[in-house]
C-alpha cells in the first residue's frame, strides 16, 4: 500500500532545489503586490488631498472674503481638544459640543469681517505703532519673550505675520465695537427692582448652619473606644449639657478653644460626607456618630438660617451688571444685523 507524505510548500521547493522566488512562480501575484505597494503610497496622498479640500471648503462669504473650514478649525482646535478630554466616553455629546463651538466660531468670523469692512467704509486708519505696541504687550503677557512666541507659532504652524494680523483685527474690532455698543452706562433703580422681583429664585441665600463639632482621632485599635466616648457625649448633649463646653474638653481639632465652633457653614464648606450629615440636622440637634479613616465625629447644629431671598441691597450691583450686559448684547446684535443688511453675506 502506497503512502503519500504531504510536505509544506516551502519544503517542497527546497526538496526540488528550487531557488525561484514565490513571486517569480506566480506573475499574477507579483503584479498584485506591485499594485498594493502603489496603493499604499497613494493612500496618504489621497487622504492629505481630501483633508486639504475639506479645510479649503468655503462655508460663508462676507463681501468678497471667503470663510473656510480651515479658518474655523484654527479658531476651534484648542477647544476641541478640551472637549475630547472632558467627554472621552460620550461621543454623542462630544459631537454636539464640537458642532456648537464651530457654529459659534463661524458667526464670530463673519462678525469680525463685517466690522473690518465697516472700519474701512468709515474711513478709519489704524496707526501701525498702535499695532506694534499691542504685539509687544501680547508677547510679554502671554509668551514672556520673542523666542517662546516663535517656538509656539512654529508648533502651531502660524506665521508671525498672521499673528500680527490677528492682533490688528482684534484692535479694530474692539475699537469699533466700543464706538457702537458700549454707550450704555446707567441702569435705572426701577429696572433693577423689576429684575429682582421677577428673578427671586436666582438670588436665594443658601441654608446656613452654625455648626459645632467634636472630633476624636482614631485608628483601628482605638476606634471602638472613640465611638463609645462620643456616644456618651451625645447622651449628655441630649440631656441638656452645653455642647460648646464639652467640645472644649474633648475636641481634638483646631477649634477646641472655641468649643468646636465652625461658624456659619453652607453645603460647600465641609467635605461631602460631613456636609450631608450636618444638613440633615434640626436646630439644637446632635448627629449620629460618624466614623471615618482619620477618626470619629459628632456634629451639632447650634443655629440654622433657612434658605431665603437675598435683600435687594445685597444684589443690586450684581443685577446692574446683568442688565448692562444684556443691553450691550442687544445693541451689538442690532448693530451686527444692520451691518449684515448693508453688506453681502452668504452661508453655504
- Report pLDDT for 303: 96
> How many residues appear in the chain?
348
- Report pLDDT for 18: 47
List the domain boundaries for the chain: 21-55, 207-306
- Report pLDDT for 39: 57
What does 72-124 look like in DSSP terms, one character per residue?
A: HHHHHHHHHHHHHHH-TT-HHHHHHHHHHHHHHHHHHHHHHHHHHHHHHHTT-
Which residues of the chain are modeled with pLDDT < 50?
A: 1-20, 22-23
- Report pLDDT for 45: 56
- Report pLDDT for 244: 96
- Report pLDDT for 183: 65
pLDDT digits (tens, 9 = 90+) for 20-63: 454 455 556 556 656 666 656 655 555 555 656 677 899 999 99
- Report pLDDT for 156: 84
C-alpha cell at 126: 489704524
Gyration radius of the chain's alpha carbons: 36
- Report pLDDT for 220: 87
- Report pLDDT for 106: 95
Measure the CA–CA gap between 114 and 122, rounded to whole angstroms: 12
Measure the CA–CA gap between 108 and 114, rounded to whole angstroms: 10
pLDDT digits (tens, 9 = 90+) for 208-229: 999 999 999 999 889 999 999 9
C-alpha cell at 185: 452706562
207-306 folds as Chitinase A; domain 3 (3.10.50)
- Report pLDDT for 50: 62
Contact 348, 60 (CB under 8 A): yes
Amino acid at each position: 500500500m502506497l503512502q503519500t507524505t504531504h510536505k509544506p510548500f516551502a519544503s517542497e521547493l527546497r526538496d526540488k532545489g528550487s531557488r525561484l522566488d514565490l513571486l517569480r512562480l506566480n506573475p499574477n501575484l507579483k503584479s498584485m503586490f506591485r499594485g498594493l505597494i502603489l496603493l499604499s503610497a497613494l493612500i496618504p496622498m489621497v487622504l492629505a488631498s481630501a483633508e486639504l479640500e475639506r479645510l479649503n471648503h468655503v462655508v460663508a462669504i462676507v463681501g468678497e472674503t471667503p470663510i473656510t473650514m480651515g479658518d474655523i478649525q484654527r479658531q476651534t482646535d484648542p477647544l476641541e481638544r478640551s472637549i475630547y478630554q472632558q467627554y472621552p466616553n460620550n461621543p454623542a455629546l462630544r459631537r454636539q459640543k464640537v458642532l456648537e463651538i464651530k457654529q459659534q466660531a463661524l458667526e464670530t468670523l463673519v462678525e469680525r469681517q463685517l466690522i473690518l469692512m465697516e472700519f474701512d467704509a468709515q474711513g478709519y486708519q489704524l496707526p501701525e505703532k498702535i499695532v506694534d505696541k499691542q504685539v509687544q504687550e501680547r508677547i510679554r503677557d502671554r509668551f514672556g519673550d520673542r523666542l517662546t512666541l516663535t517656538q509656539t507659532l512654529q508648533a502651531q504652524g502660524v506665521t508671525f505675520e498672521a499673528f500680527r494680523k490677528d492682533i490688528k483685527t482684534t484692535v479694530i474690532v474692539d475699537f469699533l465695537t466700543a464706538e457702537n455698543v458700549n454707550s450704555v452706562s446707567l441702569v435705572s433703580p426701577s429696572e433693577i427692582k423689576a429684575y429682582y422681583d421677577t428673578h427671586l429664585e436666582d438670588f436665594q441665600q443658601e441654608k446656613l448652619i452654625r455648626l459645632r463639632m467634636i472630633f476624636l482621632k482614631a485608628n483601628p485599635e482605638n476606634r471602638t473606644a472613640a465611638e463609645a466616648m462620643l456616644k456618651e457625649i451625645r447622651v449628655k448633649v441630649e440631656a441638656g449639657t452645653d455642647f460648646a463646653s464639652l467640645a472644649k474638653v474633648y475636641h481634638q481639632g483646631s477649634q477646641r478653644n472655641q468649643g468646636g465652633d465652625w461658624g456659619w457653614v453652607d453645603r460647600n464648606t465641609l467635605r461631602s460626607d460631613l456636609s450631608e450629615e450636618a444638613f440633615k440636622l434640626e436646630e439644637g440637634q446632635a448627629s449620629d456618630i460618624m466614623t471615618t479613616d482619620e477618626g470619629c465625629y459628632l456634629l451639632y447644629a447650634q443655629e440654622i438660617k433657612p434658605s431665603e431671598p437675598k435683600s435687594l441691597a445685597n444684589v443690586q450691583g450684581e443685577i446692574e451688571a446683568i442688565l448692562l450686559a444684556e443691553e450691550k448684547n442687544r445693541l451689538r446684535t442690532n448693530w451686527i444685523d444692520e451691518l449684515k443688511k448693508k453688506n453681502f453675506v452668504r452661508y453655504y
